[in-house]
Structure 1
Amino acid sequence: MIVEHAELTVSAGQEQQFEAAFAEGRKVLAEADGFRWAELLRCEERPQTYLLLVGWDSVEAHTVGFRSSERFQRWRSLVGPYFDKAPVVEHYHELGDRFTG
């Protein structure tokens, strides 16, 4: 499995609207082939900054399958208007099971 790590910066004063739009956008993500899970986190020190983590079957499931699909256009139309700048996206592969203590 691959984890997409996307840092999203939202325009000042648009945080609540972005979070509401993401609640709808996550439904679109969930329809994508190769999608496994998604989590959105908000930064304490920089409240306009969010970390989006998405589990995918492969990098290609995200970069080719999803990004070239109509679903990506729907997702981007929901959340994109709130971005202050382009998201920074990287992909990570798991090295083992999640440690829970």
Structure 2
Amino acid sequence: MILEQVILNVIPGQTDEFELAFKQAQQIISGMPGYISHELQRCVESPDQYLLLVRWETLEDHTVGFRESDEYQEWKKLLHHFYHPFPKVEHYIQVL
């Protein structure tokens, strides 16, 4: 299993719209091959910041299967305009 971790810095004043858009977008990602689960957490200290965790069966399920899909284009349209700066995506594998 691969854990994708992303810190999402949403443009101030747009968090309500972002959360509504994410409700739509999560339906896209949850239907992708290799998808296991996801969670979106809002930061208590910095309310414009979110933590997105997505569990995938393999790295390629995310980097190829999702990112090269038509569904990803819809994901981008729904969400990418909310971020500043654009987020860095990192992948983790469980060791213990």
Q: TM-score, normalised by structure 1?
A: 0.91
Query: SS at 1:78's partner residue?
Result: helix
Query: SS at 1:74's partner residue?
Result: helix
The runs of at least 4 aligned residues of structure 1 exceeding 6 Å deviation read none
> How many residues of Structure 1 are paired with residues of Structure 2 in the alignment?
96
Return the letter of the residue paired with 1:56: W
Please name the residue that 1:59 is paired with. Answer: 59
Please name the residue that 2:22 is paired with. Answer: 22
Unaligned runs of 5+ in 1: 97-101
Q: TM-score, normalised by structure 2?
A: 0.95
Q: CA RMSD in A?
A: 0.9
Return the letter of the residue paired with 1:66: F
Shift of 1:88: 1.3
1:55-89 superposed Cα distances (whole Å, 9 cap, x missing partner) = 00111110111000011111111111211221111
1:2 aligns with 2:2: yes
